[in-house]
Amino acid sequence: MPKTLMKMKRYFIKLILVFTAVLVNSCSEDTIDLEGLGSVRGRVVAVGTNEPLENVKISTNPSSSTVFTDENGEYLIENIPSGDYSLAAQRDGLLAQFEAISIIADRELEIVFEMDIETAGNRPPDAAVLDTPADNAVDQPVEVTLVWTGADPDEDSLTYTVTLRNDENTDVEIFENITDTTYVLTDLQYNVKYFWQVSSSDGINDPVNSNTFAFETASPPNNRIIYTRSVGDNSVIYSANEQGDTEIQLTSEANNSFRPRRHVATGKIAFLQSVGSDTHLFVMNEDGTQVSQVTSQVSVAGFDLGEIDFSWSDNGARLLFPNQDKLYSIDVDGSGLTLLYQTSDGDLITEVDKNDNNGVIALKTNNLDGYEVEIFTINAAGMVLETILTGVSGAAGSINLSVDGTKLLYNQDISGFESSDYRQLDSHLFIYDFGDSSRLDISIQKPSGTNDLDARFSPNEAAVIFVNTSNDGISQRNIQTMTILEIANRADLILNASMADWE
């Protein structure tokens, strides 16, 4: 081989060795940079309380390891390559937190997160704006539709709560979980001022209250007719005008209330109500408010609670009522209980009616089965004045004295039928005249197979109000009216009702 060629070969070999050495040295420097690892540790707590938060996800971006906090809220991410990252803390129901960090080789960084609930930035709803009824509106009905406007800055779904107060007592009624911006108030009382407020809730923030508006209900209509109707298992008292409409419910369906008797001068209605196993006298206003119990020591008792009747006395200051064979008087405030009369033969007093103009008291007595009826009058001393009905078979009752005390209205089953279930077959209405002891049958046009019962004079005494029903004892009862001089003109007034009073 020539010398020149040998020299060139050695030159190229040296050049290759130098290039290889440079390449190896360069690769050795990159490996050292990749091994520059650091770590980050810390704790996650709740805002405000510093309580540790468990199971919070801790991660980096760019991605490295992902860990979760322990029961102490602590976390540790190791072997993170050096560089800049975004450290994230995340858990359902909490606002995610992010922190910019720089990882340095062989160094441990400490980061504490304070996390808040996911809705921490949510704004509360606007206060509702009350629209209807206008503030201080008057003459409102006893069924009022409340209307308001609601809004939420975050457009959250809202629910509303209506709070209702009144100036009659300290009662507070709360109507919750309303999803509309209207609400109908029912069973309000007449002549009462009400105050209403609406609370708006988004389910996140504390509820926000509106202003308070007031409205006043109208005066009650002059419903002169009162009666009862069965609702569920109880009897409920209603009132209506003389056309049989504008019906108002006066007593609650939760109580068994019956036999209402109105006293015009005092504006009160007396009635019977079941109290446990007993029956007692109560009084209330004509609109059903201010109910109070009258009797307590001695209950109202006798042959059949559906037949028992009582009477106002002393111009509305007292009430007369029967208890078995005794007649009692009591003040409407529950004081002054007095025994007025007791039957001599042990017969039960079932009905009583008193005329305050002449002081005459009419009584109806019967035996334990409701029969052997006697209808007679006594004076305040208990002396018998006149006997109207005695020695007859069958049922009789619904006694009512005329305003001047000259006549007595009553019903009598002229069939004379008697049975263990007290069924009546042909009950007629009669008017007895104390002047000449005559009797006028005003039921001669009564449909056959029916009974006329529970009769009362109209306020002007030109007509009577009464109940007509089938004699099967189970059919619907209807309140009818009929003029006394034109006894063929009977007409339905209120359907499915009984125990009427017309004052």
Asked if residue 85 is part of any domain, the answer here is yes
pLDDT band at 316 (very low <50, low <70, confident <90, very high): very high
Q: Which domain holds residue 293?
A: 225-502
Q: Are residues 92 and 144 in the same domain?
A: no
Number of C-beta neighbours around residue 105 at 10 A? 13
- As a whole number, mean pLDDT of residues 417-444 equals 96
Query: Do the Cβ atoms of 276 and 264 come closer than 8 Å?
Result: no
Question: What is the pLDDT, as a whole number, of residue 120?
Answer: 72
CA distance 154 to 424: 72
| Strands of the 427-433 sheet, one edge to the other | 396-401, 407-413, 427-433, 438-441
Q: Are residues 152 and 258 in the same domain?
A: no
Q: Are residues 300 and 403 in the same domain?
A: yes
Asked if residue 211 is part of any domain, the answer here is yes
- As a whole number, mean pLDDT of residues 373-400 equals 97
Whether residue 21 is predicted with pLDDT greater than 50 in this model: the reply is: no
CA distance 216 to 436: 54
More confident residue, 432 or 11: 432
What residues are paired with 326 via a beta bridge?
323, 342
Q: Are residues 202 and 234 in the same domain?
A: no
- As a whole number, mean pLDDT of residues 102-106 equals 94
Asked if residue 430 is part of any domain, the answer here is yes
Number of C-beta neighbours around residue 267 at 10 A? 12
Mean pLDDT of the chain, nearest integer? 91
**Residue 343: which CATH number?**
2.120.10.30
Question: What is the pLDDT, as a whole number, of residue 175?
Answer: 97
pLDDT band at 10 (very low <50, low <70, confident <90, very high): low
Query: Do the Cβ atoms of 303 and 309 come closer than 8 Å?
Result: no
When divided into structural domains, the chain yields a total of: 3
**Residue 72: which CATH number?**
2.60.40.10
Tell me: the pLDDT tens digits for 284-296? Answer: 999 898 999 999 9
Q: Are residues 425 and 362 in the same domain?
A: yes
Q: Which residues, in sequence order, are CB contacts of 296 under 8 Å at separation 6+?
A: 280, 334
Asked if residue 331 is part of any domain, the answer here is yes
Q: Are residues 273 and 417 in the same domain?
A: yes
Whether residue 154 is predicted with pLDDT greater than 50 in this model: the reply is: yes
- As a whole number, mean pLDDT of residues 110-132 equals 90
For residue 152, give the amino acid letter.
D
CA distance 217 to 168: 12
Question: What is the pLDDT, as a whole number, of residue 121?
Answer: 76
- As a whole number, mean pLDDT of residues 26-47 equals 70
pLDDT band at 354 (very low <50, low <70, confident <90, very high): very high
Asked if residue 10 is part of any domain, the answer here is no
Whether residue 221 is predicted with pLDDT greater than 50 in this model: the reply is: yes
- As a whole number, mean pLDDT of residues 252-256 equals 95
Tell me: the pLDDT tens digits for 443-452? Answer: 989 999 999 9
Any idea which of 23-37, 171-185, 385-399 has the lowest mean pLDDT?
Answer: 23-37
CA distance 164 to 448: 53
Whether residue 11 is predicted with pLDDT greater than 60 in this model: the reply is: no
β-pairing, 234-240 with 225-231?
antiparallel
- Look at the alpha carbons of 90, 96, 97, 103 in this order and tell me if their dihedral is positive or negative: positive
Q: Are residues 183 and 64 in the same domain?
A: no
Q: Are residues 442 and 470 in the same domain?
A: yes
Q: Are residues 137 and 279 in the same domain?
A: no
Any idea which of 98-102, 148-152, 188-192, 193-197 has the lowest mean pLDDT?
Answer: 188-192
Cα 244–Cα 259–Cα 423 angle in degrees, nearest 5: 95
- Concatenated DSSP letters for 120-184? TTPPPPPPPEEEESPTTEEEE-SSEEEEEE---TT----EEEEEEEESSSS-EEEEEEE-SSEEE
Q: Are residues 274 and 403 in the same domain?
A: yes
Q: Are residues 197 and 237 in the same domain?
A: no
Question: What is the pLDDT, as a whole number, of residue 116?
Answer: 86
CA distance 195 to 212: 6
3-state secondary structure at position 89 = strand
Question: What is the pLDDT, as a whole number, of residue 80?
Answer: 95
